[in-house]
Structure 1
Amino acid sequence: MGQIASSVFRRALMRLSVALAALVLATPLAAQEFEPDCAAAEKFLGKAVQQGRTVGASVLIWQGGEEACFAASGDAVREEGKAFSRDTLVQVFSMTKPVTGVALMQLWEKGAFGLDDPLHWYLPEYQATRVLTGEREDGSAIVAQPRRAITVRDVLRHTAGFSYGPGGEPQNAADRTWQELDPLSADNTLAQFSQKLAQVPLLYEPGTHWSYSAGVDVQARLVEVLSGQPFDSYVKQHIFDPLGMADSGWKRDEADLARLARIYVAQDDGALEAMPRDEWLKPNFMGKPMTMGGSGIVTTVDDYMRFARMLLDEGELDGVRILEPATVQLMATDHLDPRIGPENRSWLVGKGNGGFGFDFFVRTGPPRDAEENRGTTGEFFWDGLPSMLFWIDPVQDMAVVFATQKIDFDGTLHHDIRDAIYGADYTGAK
């Protein structure tokens, strides 16, 4: 073969290779044939209660356009012998965050902001926010102007550098400032929260670390400013009411107490003790002004499943559109810069083989080993402090809501409910 002919042949081969690669990338993910194992899920719930791993729990599974199963075991209120049921109200804590993200992205669809706009364009208090660089001998903060502005995208993906408070003894000057200002006090409004958070030094330069934070409460304040409505009113009008989520909301009254599950706290010996009433009911039943974007929703598994089904159906449920399909896909795409390596992702790496989108963990590869939670490439999910969990598995056309009220957060329950539903040999998309 001559030199010219050989060169032409190589270029043709290269074009063919590129075309084949594009075809492979465009082919939808394939996964193992699968039906959720409802019997195994029900058996797991019963065993978990019997073993004292939780007081009560339920799971609701939706697949292929219909309910696959519901199962429940144990008590919602052990002291009263009140069973955990479909009608049980639960506090979902951080499973509030995806609801807040959906609310903000509705406003993005309307052109109210750009993802890479500086946050201070809409919340001017953050123009003065500084990053922590050290401490003086007296413990006061040494700060500097961030190398770049915090963007709305940073706020959506936990890369702004915000704190979530010390969670115990203060470790640095930013923690001490948080402790002094107490931005997330239930006595603050979202506007007061934002003004105070802006004074807390950033823990990291924006865009350099994934650091779980009060950023979703900043999202809630953005919703207020951009919509002109109180945050909870906006969510009720634009998400809860259209989706028929009549049992969902932040502020509750005494009538709801009859259906509210008690939160149980694991002791050093493993025993589960009821959380004191004032803590258990705060702030939902205490008449406090704070409506957090990152926590606070009280709901049922059926109500939250309506939200999950909307996401599974790419933004629509029963003919009502909440988000455009492309927006749901955007939220469920990994947005973490590869330069934010595992060492700069805190405990996110423990969630599995994946990254983070907008208020969701996003699975980008199959489970690496049997110790990792079962799941499918392309799924997205989040969970909540009292061991709550939901996930969307588009490949298997499935949504799952797992409800329990156990603190501290127990990831082993999530591992085992996924094993029960998927089976221990499930490897995900391949």
Structure 2
Amino acid sequence: MNRTIFAILPILFAFIAFQFSAPHTDQQPRAAIVSAEVRHRIDATLKRFTDSGKTVGVSALIFEKGKEVYFNAFGYADREAKVAMDRNTIVRIFSMTKPVTGVALMNLYEKGAFQLDDPLSKYAPEFADMKVYAGVDSSGNMKLEPAKRPITIRDITRHTAGFAGTDIPALAALVRKAEYMNPNITLSEMAKRLAGLPLQFHPGDQWAYGPSVDVQAYLVERLSGKPFDQYIKENIFDPLKMTNTRYVVAGSHRQRFAALYHRSDHGVLSRVPDSQANYFNIKDWALKPGGFGLTSTLDDYMKFAQMLVNKGKLGKVKVLKPETVQLMATNQLSDTISKRMWLPSKGRVGFGIDFAVRTQPPATKEENNGIVGEFFWDGAASTLFWVDPVNELTAVLFTQLVPFDQVKLHKSFRDAVYGEYLPQPDK
């Protein structure tokens, strides 16, 4: 090689490194995401869902760079009583409870209460010496084998613990018999019953959604010495002034509590009977799950999302350290965990600590839109939130619709915010 080639090699290597390290062009921060045009587009999108009868009511709130840039609500919180959907409407957030639990647990992590790769049994001895389902023998009897390694705390934060589900008939029968999510029992009793069941797979082998976050709530109780609901109130809700977020909706607030609607396969929306829809939230049950059960308002949950996009702080209130939020928002799933239940339906994502984490741009325009580095989760009644650190944007979308988002509301809302994703041509 001549001297000229040697001279340009450092520049060439720097350019190659930049190409591999730089985010996708669509992932660069933009001057502003939510312009007047985008607000009109979101309005039209959400109104279309209520006008067409795909959902009864919907509301959304977006903050960008610390300021509210969008709010609107369409349709009804209670169609039968003609109560309009509003920013003060209280909704069931179901699994959007999970990130709250994760923040509570990581608050204790910061205090040195545990390490992520500690065995769960170090703090919850019920989970020692777990057995794993290994099929059935010729007589139909269940076969068990010792777990290859202990369940770690990291496993319960990323859904790789292997807790039994209902998709294997032999295990499903045991799960139903155990009734480990009976609302009349405590988190301690829940853990005892769950630990008495075989695991569905060896810890770390697969991603499978289940009761892991309820075990996190139990761990918060064990480590803090306080009831879980008291801990999240004192360490998250009260500091952030989330005054409308709770398990039990008091009688004086029930006029703001949205009805829940079911959409049939034929597109007919019918009200879920209040006795069923409100069952968990109008009585102070013994069980305070970490995986579901909270109710909230748009503004309350936005405070939580704003705390996250601000790296653990909201104003002068500090809930977590920046490095802890970054850890939570970092994919914890290795490529060896190839079985991931329905997680791929969320897009090209991994999973952090109680959030899905977008690791790649959408592959097609049919995939849910999003920015690499965003973290998010949703709830069974089709609620959604996400945190986009690249653009300092947070969004909360509320509706009360089951089954979960069969009308593709989340896809349409994301497209309305960011614009329809157009895959980049191969270079």
Identify the TM-score tier after normalising by the shorter chain.
over 0.9
Rounded Cα–Cα distance in structure 1 between residues aligned with 2:9 and 2:196:
56
Match of 1:35 in 2: 33
> Does the aligned pair in 2 maintain the 1:32–1:426 contact within 8 Å?
no
In the other structure, the counterpart of 1:213 is 210
Q: Which residue of 1 aligns with 2:376?
A: 381
* Farther off after superposition, 15-24 or 236-245: 15-24
For 2:9 and 2:102, the matched residues in 1 are separated by: 43
In structure 1, stretches of 5+ residues that fail to align are none
Distance 2:9 2:136 in 1: 57
**In structure 2, what residue type is equivalent to 1:30?**
Q
Letter in 2 for 1:52: G
Report whether the alignment pairs 1:349 with 2:344: yes
Helix, strand or coil: the match of 1:128? coil
User: Is 1:251 matched with 2:248?
Assistant: yes
- Using a 3 Å threshold, how does the CA distance of structure 1 residues 276 and 138 change in structure 2: closer, same or farther? farther
Could you tell me which of 274, 286, 289 is aligned with 2:286? 289
Using the alignment, how far apart are the partners of 1:139 and 1:94 within structure 2? 36
CA offsets per residue over residues 32-83 of structure 1, 9 Å max, x none?
A: 5542211111111111011111000100010022000101000001110000
Distance in 1 separating the partners of 2:134 and 2:65: 52
Amino acid at match of 2:319: I
Q: In the alignment, does 2:76 pair up with 1:75?
A: yes
8 A Cα contact 2:135 2:143, kept in partner: yes
Please give the per-residue CA displacement for 1:313-371, whole angstroms capped at 9, x wherever unaligned.
Answer: 01000111111011111110111011112xx0111011011211011111111111110
Offset at residue 23 of structure 1 (A): 5.7
Counterpart contact for 2:262–2:270, Cα < 8 Å: yes
Three-state SS of the structure 1 residue aligned to 2:100 is helix
Alignment of 1:391-406 (within 5 A): 391-406=386-401
Determine what percentage of the aligned residue pairs are the same residue: 43
Alignment of 1:38-117 (within 5 A): 38-117=39-118
CA shift, 1:373, in A, is: 1.1
Distance between the aligned counterparts of 1:171 and 1:124, measured in 2? 26
How far apart, CA to CA, are the structure 1 residues paired with 2:135 and 2:54?
42
Task: Describe the superposition over 1:85-115 as per-residue Cα deviations: whole angstroms up to 9, x where unpaired.
Answer: 0110000000000000000001011110010
Counterpart Cα distance in 2 of 1:278 and 1:19: 64
User: In the alignment, is the contact (CA less than 8 A) between 1:376 and 1:427 conserved in 2?
Assistant: no
Question: In structure 2, what residue type is equivalent to 1:200?
Answer: L
Give, in angstroms, the shift of residue 420 of structure 1: 1.1
One-letter amino acid of the counterpart of residue 214, structure 1? P
Q: 1:317 aligns with which of 314, 317, 329?
A: 314
Distance 1:391 1:405, change over 3 A: same
| Runs of 4+ residues over 3 Å off in structure 1 | 12-29, 31-34, 136-140, 425-428
Distance in 2 separating the partners of 1:57 and 1:35: 21
Q: Deviations over 1:155-193 (max 9, x none)?
A: 000011113x42xxx632221111100111111110010
Contact kept? 2:161, 2:203, Cα under 8 Å: yes
Give the equivalent residue in structure 2 for 1:417: 413
Q: Aligned with 1:208: secondary structure?
A: coil
TM-score normalised per structure 1: 0.92
5+ residue gaps, structure 2: none
Which stretch shifts more, 170-179 or 105-114?
170-179
What is aligned with 1:238?
235
| Residues 347-356 or 231-240, more deviating | 347-356
Aligned counterparts of 1:259 and 1:402: Cα–Cα separation in 2: 17
Instruction: Provide the C-alpha distance between the structure 2 equivalents of 1:273 and 1:130, rounded to a whole number of angstroms.
Output: 43
How far is the alpha carbon of 1:16 from its aligned partner?
5.8
Q: Report the counterpart of residue 188 of structure 1 in structure 2.
A: 185
Q: 2: distance between equivalents of 1:18 and 1:222? A: 48
Query: In structure 2, what is the equivalent of residue 332 of structure 1?
Result: 329
Task: For 2:144 and 2:194, locate their aligned partners in 1 and report how far apart those are by CA, in whole Å.
Answer: 15
Q: Which residue of 1 aligns with 2:155?
A: 154
1:201-239 C-alpha deviation (Å, 9 max, x unpaired): 111111110100100000000000000000000000000
Counterpart contact for 1:128–1:198, Cα < 8 Å: no
The alignment partner of 1:101 has SS state of helix
Tell me which amino acid in the other structure corresponds to 1:115: L
CA RMSD of aligned residues (A): 2.2
Contact 2:90 2:258 in 1 (8 A): yes
Q: Which moved more, 1:30-39 or 1:84-93?
A: 30-39
What are the Cα deviations for residues 363-396 of structure 1, in whole angstroms up to 9, with x where unaligned? 1111111100111111110000000000011111
Whole-angstrom distance in 2 between the partners of 1:295 and 1:193: 14
Distance 2:419 2:271 in 1: 33
Post-superposition offset of 1:138: 5.9
1:126 counterpart letter in structure 2: F
Aligned-partner Cα distance in 2 for 1:221–1:139: 34
